[in-house]
Amino acid sequence: MNTPQSPDDLLTTEQVSSEMLGNTVPPETLRRWRRVGGGPLFKKLGANIRYRRGDVQAWLDANTYASNYARAPATA
């Protein structure tokens, strides 16, 4: 039985890579983006890094393109 997913779920770097990005972006790339800027918003909870599911989805939506030259139209 699947648990409903909430935009407020907190995910590890590895979970974002595998569950939300289908392993197309390795965890090391997400770590690099945190250091240099870019990538989805994240939370630092002590020594732990977590990504809010809704923030990752918003980042994906903001980086959706219809072609190499134009962003895709927003969908409701």
Q: Note down pLDDT in tens along the chain; length 76 residues.
A: 567 789 999 999 999 999 999 999 999 999 999 999 999 999 999 999 999 999 999 999 998 887 877 666 655 5
Residue 73: predicted pLDDT: 63
Q: Determine contact, residues 29/15, Cβ cutoff 8 Å.
A: no
How far is it, in rounded angstroms, from Cα 30 to Cα 37?
A: 10
Q: How many other CB atoms are found less than 10 A from the CB of residue 35?
A: 8
Q: Determine contact, residues 9/53, Cβ cutoff 8 Å.
A: yes
